[in-house]
């Protein structure tokens, strides 16, 4: 295992060596230039992203779950992505589950030493009763976070399918999992601050994993999120817009069908296109 200071994510960035003397606009331009490299780095990993997305879709289709496991920024990003799958795709709570080292307290407050608790990662996988039906994805910029390694080891013991999102090559995690995703983002403008490029890259990959897998499960019609849950005024208006776009009917008709469908846009669309009742649809 490489020493932490030898990792690309921990090396000083020569382009930001005098960042402390730059003006605000100079820093903004530098950070923007560095961020432009992230999409290119992600592009190099599209094949494993697609493969892991298909495995997630297969698992969920067969009653399994997708677990994201991370500490610090990685874990917080996982919480954001997992939480959004419920209203966006009308998934049952727990289908996508984020395991953040330190739990909910760590979402709002940095608890830096908790990432070293390897047994804690093991315990979380056991507590959630992960099984061979599930997919467990470890997220770690360094690819060596003990909490995440513990979780992956526990996942492999129950024969869950495993993946990882890391920001260095040939990491411990990459060599443990079935499908590694290595997004090489390089040194940060603030040395070692992986909440920056590495974190942005992780969020981009998470966006793809959850979105692609749900598209493959039929949660999207054309490019419309027809399985969304309209639980507030804004989302009700969005659902009506989705129905009108998909069917060409008026907003008034769409609103009526949405209510008739039990606030299920996908059902309302089928009702409009086939002239069926909500029960038939």
Catalytic residues: 84, 115
Q: Parallel, antiparallel, or unpaired for β 135-140 and 96-100?
A: unpaired
Q: Is 50 helix (H, G, I), strand (E, B) or coil?
A: helix
Q: Is 163 helix (H, G, I), strand (E, B) or coil?
A: strand
Q: First vs last Cα of the chain: how many Å apart? A: 56
Other Cβ atoms less than 10 A from the Cβ of 139: the count is 33
- Cα 134 from Cα 17, distance rounded (Å): 44
Helix residue ranges per DSSP H, the chain: 24-43, 46-61, 72-89, 105-108, 118-127, 146-157, 197-216, 233-247, 251-260, 265-274
DSSP label of 133: T
Interacting residues of 62 by C-beta distance below 8 A, sequence separation 6+:
133
Nearest partner of 124 among 75, 171, 90, 80, judged by Cα: 75
The packing angle between helices 118-127 and 146-157, to 10°, is: 40
- Cα 74 from Cα 258, distance rounded (Å): 38
Dihedral of CA atoms 52, 35, 74, 20 in degrees, nearest 10, equals 160
């Amino acid at each position: 295992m490489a020493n932490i200071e030898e990792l690309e994510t921990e090396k000083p960035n020569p382009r930001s060596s005098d960042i402390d003397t730059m003006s605000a606009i100079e820093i903004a331009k530098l950070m923007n230039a560095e961020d432009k490299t992230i999409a290119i780095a992600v592009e190099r990993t599209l094949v494993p992203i697609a493969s892991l997305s298909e495995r997630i879709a297969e698992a969920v289709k067969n009653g399994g779950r997708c677990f994201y496991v991370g500490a610090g920024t990685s874990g917080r990003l996982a919480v954001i992505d997992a939480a959004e799958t419920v209203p966006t795709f009308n998934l049952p709570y727990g289908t996508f589950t984020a395991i953040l080292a330190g739990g909910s307290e760590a979402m709002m407050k940095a608890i830096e030493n908790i990432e070293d608790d390897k047994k804690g990662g093991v315990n979380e996988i056991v507590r959630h009763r992960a099984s061979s039906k599930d997919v467990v994805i470890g997220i770690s910029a360094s690819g060596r976070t003990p909490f995440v390694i513990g979780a992956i080891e526990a996942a492999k013991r129950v024969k869950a399918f495993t993946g990882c999102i890391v920001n260095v090559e040939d990491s411990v995690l990459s060599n443990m999992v079935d499908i590694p995703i290595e997004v090489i983002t390089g040194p940060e403008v603030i040395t070692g601050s992986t909440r920056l490029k590495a974190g942005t890259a992780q969020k981009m990959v998470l966006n793809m994993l959850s979105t692609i897998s749900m598209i493959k499960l039929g949660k999207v019609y054309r490019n419309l999120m027809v399985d969304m849950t309209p639980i507030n005024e804004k989302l009700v208006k969005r659902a009506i817009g989705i129905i009108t776009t998909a069917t060409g009917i008026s907003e008034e008709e769409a609103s009526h069908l949405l209510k008739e469908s039990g606030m299920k846009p996908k059902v309302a669309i089928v009702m409009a296109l086939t002239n069926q009742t909500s029960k038939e649809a």
